[in-house]
Amino acid sequence: MASQSQIHQLHFLFIPLMSQSHLIPFTEMAKLFAHHGVKVTIVLTHVNAARFNTILEQAKASNLNIEFVSLRFPGQEAGFPEGCENMDTLPSLNLTLQFFAASSMLQKPLEKWLEELESLPNCIISDLCLPWTTEIGLNFKIPRFVFYTTCCFCLVCNHNISCSRVLEGVTSDSQTFLVPNIPDRIEFTKAQLPADKRTSSDESKKIMNQLETAKLSAEGLVVNTFEELEARYVEEYQKGGQKLWCIGPLSLCNKAISDKFEIGNKTSIDECNCLTWLDSMKPNSVIYVCFGSLSEMLASQLVELALALESSDYPFIWVIKRGKYSEELENWLVEENFEEKIKGRGLIIRTWAPQVQILSHLATGGFLTHCGWNSTLEGISAGVPMITWPMFAEQFYNEKLLVEVFRIGVSVGVKTSADYGEEKDRVLVRSEDVKKAIKQLMDKGEEAEERRKRARKLGEIAKKSVEEGGSSYMNVKKLIQHISENKSIIR
């Protein structure tokens, strides 16, 4: 094993995609490695660095060696308004690929920063969505690892669907097909797959090929999951020969309450009020409803959700993101006197919420989620069963994992993926379907109780994985050891 003095000399460079769902696990990972004695530098842009300044303050207070490299984001050159440096500030999510292209313009200033260093970092851990970091690793002879922001199940499904060409035999978006050569029997329709699996555009193929090449050329993958959660899929992926380190759940790696409350954006309701409200509720009685930082819904769809929450008779916390439909929704809430009707039983939080805190509270009994991986893993870590409402990207994969593999989820019944920024002109889920899913999840019957038991068991395993001697704890040690042993060879 490497000595403590050797570990203290290690310097990791983190390069995340500027999106909350990527920045949050990256900053959690930075704290995790810094706790193990590693110096960590995170590449951010000016606006994002300001958002995450609390991380630096906490690091200093905890004697953690974390710093930011704050670079100017070339947004205006790419056609974005000033200050648009995060995917949650894009005028439209249809501009996602344009945002990726703008992000690639950070390569030159980052290389200039590296050239001016007295000694180079010992490794780069870069986002899967930033293939240009491959060139940086090669140019400076720095080992590069890819941080994968979703699960091994998704890795394997994506790989097997692509390699098997199973979609060539699928003639319609609604036709079901079996994912080949995986440990569980999993069926999808083409309409549920990520956009890159459904489109044949040259631009999409080019980008996906770049991402795949960048992933396979990395020295290994670092994944925000834990081995016990999906051991068969960890093993299945590693059959391809690429090294993989499962180091999550990252949301559990830092137990300080203040840290969990201060990540990224500011909440619109203070900690005391939120926790006091939850304290007044019975154990396992509250449904927490949140759709992440990027999901967009029609106001008419949100009205259906509101009606379901009101008529369900269960206490709830509903996080409403400010977006293009928020004014229309707010008008409806006022016209219907909605907040007065739910007073004492429902709590609306606008924009941002302390999700980890809410999920881990004893009063929370269910989580209605869009199935983004961060949220999915936070729900699992808290031992909370979930209602699944996937929208795009890999979220239908995560739904299958929750509902069919782990059996701790209830599907709300969404059949079709909505691409980034795609505005649906119809309501996809009716209030009665949402209400039915809530009742099924929160029911006191045997099936619901077994679901809760399975969820609690997974939560207990998740907590053990990050404790000293746990699988994720040991994988962090192994990754540090791997880099420490190879630095003398590389240098």
Kindly tell me the burial class for residue 371, based on how many C-beta atoms sit within 10 Å of its own C-beta (0-12, 13-18, 19 or more).
buried
The domain that contains 227 carries what CATH number? 3.40.50.2000
- Residue owning tokens 């007065």: 340
Residue 260 lies in a domain: no
Residues 436, 341 share a domain: yes
Residue 259 lies in a domain: no
Cα 322 to chain centroid, rounded: 19
Residue 40 lies in a domain: yes
Q: How would you write 241-284 as a 3-class SS string?
A: CCCEEECCCHHHCCCCHHHHHCCCCCCCCCHHHHHHHHHCCCCC
Residue 225 lies in a domain: yes
Paired tokens of 323: 């977006």
Kindly tell me the burial class for residue 177, based on how many C-beta atoms sit within 10 Å of its own C-beta (0-12, 13-18, 19 or more).
middle
Round to whole Å and give the CA distance between 469 and 335: 56
DSSP one-letter code for 80: P
Round to whole Å and give the CA distance between 347 and 354: 13
Task: Compute how many other C-beta atoms are within 10 angstroms of the C-beta atom of residue 130.
Answer: 24
Residue 477 lies in a domain: yes
Residue 379 lies in a domain: yes
- Sign of the alpha-carbon dihedral angle for 46, 259, 397, 211: positive
Residues 80, 222 share a domain: yes
Residue 258 lies in a domain: no
Residues 375, 236 share a domain: no
Residues 248, 198 share a domain: yes
Residues 458, 470 share a domain: no
Q: Which amino acid is at 204?
A: S
Residues 308, 173 share a domain: no
Residues 469, 428 share a domain: no
Residues 86, 43 share a domain: yes
What global pTM score does this model have?
A: 0.94
Residue 450 lies in a domain: yes
Residues 284, 248 share a domain: no
Render each residue's pLDDT in the chain as its tens digit; 491 residues: 444 544 457 999 999 999 999 999 999 999 999 999 999 999 999 999 999 998 888 888 889 999 999 999 999 899 999 999 999 898 887 888 899 999 999 999 999 999 999 999 999 999 999 999 999 999 999 999 999 999 999 999 999 999 999 999 999 999 999 999 999 999 999 999 998 888 767 777 788 889 999 999 999 999 999 999 999 999 999 999 999 999 999 999 865 434 444 555 555 555 568 889 999 999 999 999 999 888 888 899 999 999 999 999 999 999 998 766 678 999 999 999 999 999 999 999 987 889 999 999 999 999 999 999 999 999 999 999 999 999 998 999 999 999 999 999 999 999 998 765 454 455 689 999 999 999 999 999 999 999 999 999 999 999 999 999 999 999 999 999 999 998 644 44
Which residue from 404, 376, 379, 380 is spatially nearest to 390, judged by alpha carbons? 376
Residues 472, 394 share a domain: no
33 is in which domain, residue-wise? Answer: 4-253+465-490
Domain count, the chain: 2
Residue 222 β-bridge partners: 147, 245
Residues 378, 325 share a domain: yes
Residues 482, 443 share a domain: no
